[in-house]
């Protein structure tokens, strides 16, 4: 759907363009639909939820803000996100965890699994940029929402997830 945007300039009306009625949910749905089918074929939505629930409790949950964009009035953070530092189970590689989180986001966006209030890995109204890297005996998971307005929600969800009782004491087993 397209809403036309108009502007009056010196008594004339100009059509400036089309402001789409696209919502954030449409964006996450579009991103989920654009993933290659083979990317998420190794496990079901339910298996991904269990694998993420079995991750060890994070050692830390921090908010990140990198750099600033200066304006005439204020300074705006250029990057924002939440970082979780998780003990690395022997069977979990950074690539596997990054793929699992990305596919879990797609599961939520496509309605294959219900979002939970303490799930930092899938925000129903947004798509998270996910970056997982190894750092010694830990995995550093960086989650950056597309919409900066959701950064506090991601941080809050991550803190609640860190307070959870692990689903099982066994570590997730990567295929």
Give the pLDDT of the chain (175 residues) as one tens digit per residue.
334 444 444 444 444 444 444 455 568 889 999 999 999 999 999 999 999 988 998 998 988 766 666 677 776 655 678 999 999 998 899 999 999 999 999 999 999 999 889 999 999 889 999 999 999 999 999 999 988 888 889 999 999 999 887 665 455 555 5
Residue 54, burial from CB neighbour count under 10 angstroms (0-12, 13-18, 19+): middle
Q: What is the DSSP letter of 91?
A: T
| Spatial distance between the Cα atoms of 172 and 86, rounded to a whole number of angstroms | 13
Q: Which of 53, 75, 54, 77 has the alpha carbon at shortest distance from 64?
A: 77
Q: What is the pLDDT of residue 17?
A: 41
Q: What is the pLDDT of residue 73?
A: 78
| Torsional sign, CA 145, 149, 153, 155 | positive
Whole-prediction pTM: 0.75
Q: For the chain, what are the domain ranges?
A: 24-162
Q: Which of 7, 153, 30, 22 has the alpha carbon at shortest distance from 80?
A: 153
Residue 157, phi then psi, degrees to nearest 5: -60, -40
Q: Which tokens sit at 125?
A: 């109204």
């Amino acid at each position: 759907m397209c809403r036309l945007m108009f502007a009056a300039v010196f008594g004339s009306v100009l059509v400036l363009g089309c402001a789409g009625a696209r919502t954030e949910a449409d964006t996450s749905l579009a991103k989920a639909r654009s993933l290659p089918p083979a990317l998420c074929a190794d496990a079901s939505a339910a298996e991904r939820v269990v694998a993420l629930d079995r991750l060890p409790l994070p050692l830390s949950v921090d908010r990140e803000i990198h750099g600033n964009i200066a304006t005439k009035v204020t300074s705006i953070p250029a990057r924002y996100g939440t970082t979780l530092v998780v003990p690395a189970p022997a069977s979990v590689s950074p690539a596997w965890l990054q793929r699992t989180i990305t596919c879990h986001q797609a599961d939520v966006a496509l309605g294959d699994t219900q979002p939970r209030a303490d799930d930092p890995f899938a925000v129903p109204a947004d798509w998270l940029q996910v970056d997982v890297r190894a750092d010694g005996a830990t995995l550093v998971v960086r989650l950056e929402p597309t919409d900066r307005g959701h950064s506090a929600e991601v941080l809050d969800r991550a803190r609640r997830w860190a307070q959870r009782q692990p689903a099982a004491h066994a570590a997730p087993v990567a295929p």
